[in-house]
A = this chain, B = another copy of it.
């Protein structure tokens, strides 16, 4: 992408309305624009990252055997009356009346709808286990939306729903998602710690939140210091293996949100306990028959008997993740994207647009990198070098390739790694070879 034609409205000033660094940086980098309180448009740079996060989430759900579908945003109130949650949900639910005066709502989650789909089609235990997920925009009418996409009203969530014939099956489905979540966050480049958590309005008795440590986190968290240097996926089993030993091993290392942590009865000696703040990026629940019983989602068992299915639900805040990544990975100059979700792989900086030789070398590098499948942000704008350096640092592209007339006279270009600031002068071909790896 040539930045001269790319719609990336970066800001020089720090927006005053943004309280946390991810919100400030997303606004400054021209990634989002607020269109109403807590509602954002994703500008091209932001949307590129959002789609990459979404794709990693999708691939790991698929790898765990979950199947993707897509439920609509608008739901009927009647479904929520069946589960009893229509009145419970309160003002966070965006309630809507259509032209025929039917009561509708913008879905904040989908337990009811997926249970309805399930009961319409699945009649036998032989069709289980089943795990269905979608990645869809949800709405929660937060009284005071804030922190940019971290606590917005319209947000993108992946939610999966598992159906099993018995508690043992449901436990296995839960463990698969537990492993899938650890894999997902690791691929994105995040260290997410699973913590025992309250189940809240979703219900059930087994639940983990996946939490990224960050100073700006909304929740207080407590964990054993062993978490700090743990490679959580070391010796992890495959999806088809018995996951119980792995699950037991990981969950035996203490980690709990402040709601669950009881200082008087902490199982970890104070010297080994880390108290920190965190950002919730995922939440998984096993809630048994909480929805299947009232909604009559039953299947015929081996002996023909009617059995209400055991369910779980598994959420990842896809749009929120973008904020969490930035909170966990930035410096004074801007964002530092992990490679897996970076909007571009390489930022190519032309130090003197209009200089024939510099333009020629840049155009050649741009073509070669793109044709090798790398995504390149080519800064061919008519701007001062300082502005180009600042913007490229701000948008956080992992590699910067800097090309100018002075270097070219000596046959060299500069390659900079955004994360470390490490710079290296090297011949054009060597830089290319290094990037093409």
Contact = CB atoms under 8 A, between A and B. Distances in A.
A153 B102 CA distance: 14
B40 A141 contact: no
Nearest to A50: B70
Interface string A67-80: 11111111110000
Contact of A44 (B9, B69, B72, B120): B69
A420 interface: no
A253 to B, nearest CB: 33
B120 A33 contact: yes
A36 B75 contact: yes
Interface stretch (A90-98, A333-341, A353-361, A384-392): A90-98
Contacts of A120: 9, 33
A40 B72 contact: yes
B70 A36 contact: no
A71 B36 CA distance: 11
Contact of A69 (B47, B76, B92, B137): B47
B96 A91 contact: no
Contacts of A121: 7, 9, 30, 33
Contact of A141 (B44, B72, B98, B141): B98
A294 to B, nearest CB: 18
A104 B117 CA distance: 29
A116 B69 contact: no
Given A91-B99, A99-B91, A113-B41, A71 B35 contact: yes
A268 interface: no
A43 interface: yes
Given A35-B72, A36-B74, A69-B42, A94 B91 contact: no
Most B CB contacts (10 A, CB to CB) among A50, A75, A99, A141 go to A99
A76 B6 contact: no
A344 interface: no
A72 B38 CA distance: 11
A242 to B, nearest CB: 19
Nearest to A141: B99
Nearest to A48: B68
Interface in A265-303: none
B76 A36 contact: yes
Interface string A128-148: 001010000101010100000
A202 interface: no
A56 interface: no
A315 to B, nearest CB: 18
Given A7-B67, A35-B72, A69-B44, A99 B154 contact: no
A39 interface: yes
Contacts of A153: 74
A45 B68 CA distance: 9
A210 interface: no
A254 interface: no
A47 B167 CA distance: 30
Given A7-B130, A35-B76, A71 B106 contact: no
A74 B106 contact: yes
Interface in A182-228: none
Contact of A72 (B5, B72, B137): B137
A84 to B, nearest CB: 19
A7 B117 CA distance: 11
A96 B96 contact: yes
Contacts of A141: 98-99
Given A7-B132, A75-B35, A91-B99, A117 B41 contact: yes
A143 B98 CA distance: 10
A44 B96 CA distance: 28
A43 to B, nearest CB: 5
19 contacts: A9-B120, A9-B121, A9-B122, A35-B72, A35-B75, A35-B76, A36-B75, A36-B104, A37-B102, A39-B74, A41-B72, A46-B69, A50-B70, A72-B154, A73-B154, A74-B106, A94-B96, A96-B96, A99-B141
